[in-house]
């Protein structure tokens, strides 16, 4: 969901909370508290959904290239390789 659609939806939801509070005869303080709680819950949900979308997305070609470069420049020792005196000094 794009940010503009999210903002419009959030404002619509908050307007419903205001109408519900007004029709229910709630005080101004209660109405403000309901609006704040509703806004926080909506924001947390939006954050969680966006995080889940990013976490579950497949790596792009640029991500794969970066990972390959990291492995190439890594000081890791391949399995079975013995460290020479020059490599021992790095640790």
pLDDT digits (tens, 9 = 90+) for 81-91: 666 655 555 55
CB 35 within 8 A of CB 18: yes
Q: What is the pTM of this model?
A: 0.59
Query: For 4-15, what is each residue's pLDDT tens digit?
Result: 898 899 999 999
Whole-number pLDDT of residue 77: 63
Query: Rounded CA gap, 18 and 20, in Å?
Result: 5
The answer, yes or no, to whether residue 78 has pLDDT greater than 70, is no
């Amino acid at each position: 969901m794009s940010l503009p659609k999210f903002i419009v939806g959030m404002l619509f939801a908050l307007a419903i909370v205001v109408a519900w509070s007004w029709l229910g005869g709630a005080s101004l303080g209660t109405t403000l508290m309901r609006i704040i709680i509703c806004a926080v819950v909506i924001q947390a949900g939006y954050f969680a959904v966006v995080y889940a979308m990013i976490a579950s997305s497949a790596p792009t070609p640029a991500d794969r290239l970066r990972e390959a470069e990291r492995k190439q420049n890594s000081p890791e020792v391949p399995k079975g390789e013995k460290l020479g005196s020059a490599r021992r000094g790095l640790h």
